[in-house]
Amino acid sequence: MQLIDGKQIALQVHAETRSAVQALKARGIVPGLAVVLVGDDPASRSYVRSKDKMSHELGIHSAKHELPATTTQEELIALVEKLNADPAIHGILVQSPPPPHIDEAAVIRAIDPRKDVDGFHPVNVAKLALDDPSGFVPCTPLGCQRLLLASGIDPAGKHAVVIGRSMIVGKPMALLLMAKGKGGDATVTVVHSRSRNLAELTRQADILVAAIGRPGFVKAGHVREGAVVIDVGINRVEDPTAAKGYRIVGDVAFEEVAPKCSAITPVPGGVGPMTIAMLMANTVKACRQISGV
């Protein structure tokens, strides 16, 4: 059984990004990423800190905007429009989820699609569906695809089953896996909370991607012998024996599923590190496209 090491593969992606940033700087161009946080959700604040830190490490100009929870929709969109017009900024990310009074979809639509490094703008969703390589793919599914390729797992001709249909992971993951070319060409089935005989469908998977947000949902009975399992879930479960009083677990019951797999991602240390790595790679791609280099 191969344990797919997301930390190691993320380091490879960061090395490529660092090299690309240096090449751009040699031409007088500095990639810029703006991260916007509204409110003080502790998990979101932690994500923003890690994105800011990684930007600095890779030589990407980082502009961090931390706004109070009382920020209005109009104020947030005004900031987005200011960043759209800022030539020093090539990528814009508004940390999700915003406070309840903010219409997240409207904020995403306000971002210039050329700077939408999260890949959620309708223009970029359409480009993914149309196999247009100039678009941006959401970072988590893009990271999952990179994990497969870096581990020598070619989806071409294989049956991939994606559990979950969110716009953040499930739908773009399915589109990526069925796209023509490297990292795609799979036969894809998407299952979700309303699917009948879910375990029967997941047992057909050569590659199973779990992105349902339910801790330990995927059991041994969901997986066939020799399958590749990509666990996207990051769930906090209470554990009085742990130092912090909780553990981070995936959507897959790792201990019982791993022995059946030919390859599997751990949680933590699997998909998680890839999300930020692909965000940085998307920022460099945006910089190149906007700068025309």
Residues designated catalytic? 51, 95, 118
Coil, helix or strand at residue 282: helix
| Residue type at position 27 | R
Complete DSSP assignment for 100-130 = TTS-HHHHHHHS-GGG-TT--SHHHHHHHHT
Cβ–Cβ < 8 Å for 158, 187: yes
Q: How far is residue 237's CA from residue 72's CA, in Å, rounded to a whole number?
A: 33
The tokens 């109070």 sit on which residue? 68
Beta bridge partners of 252: 218
Cβ–Cβ < 8 Å for 212, 250: no
Do strands 159-163 and 91-94 pair parallel, antiparallel, or not at all (unpaired)? Answer: unpaired
Do strands 246-249 and 235-238 pair parallel, antiparallel, or not at all (unpaired)? Answer: antiparallel
Long-range CB contacts for residues 269-273, cutoff 8 Å, separation at least 24: 269/5, 269/6, 269/7, 270/4, 270/5, 270/6, 270/147, 270/230, 270/231, 271/6, 271/140, 271/143, 271/144, 271/147, 271/230, 271/231, 271/232, 272/6, 272/234, 273/6, 273/7, 273/9, 273/10
| Residue type at position 59 | G
Q: How far is residue 83's CA from residue 98's CA, in Å, rounded to a whole number?
A: 18
